[in-house]
């Protein structure tokens, strides 16, 4: 297939659709992106911030490995946009768990293919002292933070190879 033939139609300009549109556009696809709302009316954009962090399960190593990669990928993508602090802060995330769950999880996380400085176990006493929250331990993840979904998506779809058509319902 020649580069000129690379076209894609994506339905939905939320985080998934906008991210896919951006990744394809970077690879020289001409992308048409539809949403049945205007850009300002997309539901997730009413949220000021979405959290970026890995979600782990105790008994699923493949899932945990995928989550770790996905979180690191999103972290880097958002960092590279260099948004102002009003729109994003990618300084890591602390996730709170029950103490025994936290101890089991940290063992699973430690076995993943990720550098040791990317996470840290935070004992109950530290969480209490730092955040005044009782009876929770935590794990700090370096590759996390928050971003304004509206800012992120509107930046992603600015790519010259993306044509966004609002108010167009597909199917
Ligand atoms: C209150 C709240 C808080 C959340 N916080 C977080 C968070 O912190 N972190 C996180 O990762 N996730 C969070 N989520 C989950 C979040 O909604 C999803 O991660 C994210 O929005 C999923 O993106 P998406 O692009 O898959 O879907 P959506 O954001 O739902 O986007 C789908 C888009 O497709 C359009 N569409 C659907 N059907 C059609 C059609 N037939 N024709 C044309 N357009 C169509 C819709 O208008 C919509 O704009 C939160 C959800 C809610 C409700």
The tens place of each residue's pLDDT in the chain, 171 residues long, gives: 455 689 999 999 999 999 999 999 999 999 999 999 998 888 899 999 999 999 888 888 899 899 999 999 999 999 999 999 999 999 999 999 998 888 888 888 888 888 888 999 999 999 999 999 999 999 999 999 999 999 999 999 999 999 999 988 777
Q: Give the three-class secondary structure for 115.
A: coil
Same domain, 26 and 43: yes
Q: Which atom of ligand 1 is nearest to the CA of 50?
A: 8
pTM, entire model? 0.88
Q: How far apart are CA 85 and CA 19, in angstroms?
A: 21
Secondary structure class of 154 (helix, strand, coil): helix
- Total count of domains within the chain: 2
Pocket test for ligand 1, best of 9, 15, 48, 54 (most atoms within 8 A of CB): 15
104 lies in the same domain as 72: yes
Can you tell me which atom of ligand 1 is nearest the CA of 51? 8
Identify the domain containing residue 136 by its residue range.
50-147
Residues in the chain: 171
Are 21 and 159 contacting, i.e. CB atoms less than 8 angstroms apart? yes
């Amino acid at each position: 297939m020649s580069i000129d033939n690379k076209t894609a139609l994506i339905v939905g300009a939320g985080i998934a659709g906008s991210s896919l549109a951006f990744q394809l556009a970077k690879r020289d696809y001409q992308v048409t992106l539809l949403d049945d709302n205007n850009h300002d009316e997309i539901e997730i954009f009413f949220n000021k911030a979405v959290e970026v962090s890995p979600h782990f399960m105790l008994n699923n190593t493949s899932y945990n490995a995928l989550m770790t990669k996905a979180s690191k990928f999103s972290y880097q993508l958002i960092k590279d946009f260099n948004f102002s602090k009003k729109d994003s802060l990618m300084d890591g995330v602390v996730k709170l768990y029950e103490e025994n769950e936290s101890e089991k999880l940290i063992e699973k996380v430690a076995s993943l293919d990720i550098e040791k400085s990317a996470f840290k176990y935070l004992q109950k006493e530290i969480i209490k002292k730092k955040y005044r929250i009782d009876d929770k331990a935590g794990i700090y993840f370096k590759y996390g933070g928050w971003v304004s979904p509206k800012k992120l998506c509107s930046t992603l779809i600015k790519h010259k190879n993306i044509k966004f058509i609002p108010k167009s319902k597909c199917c």
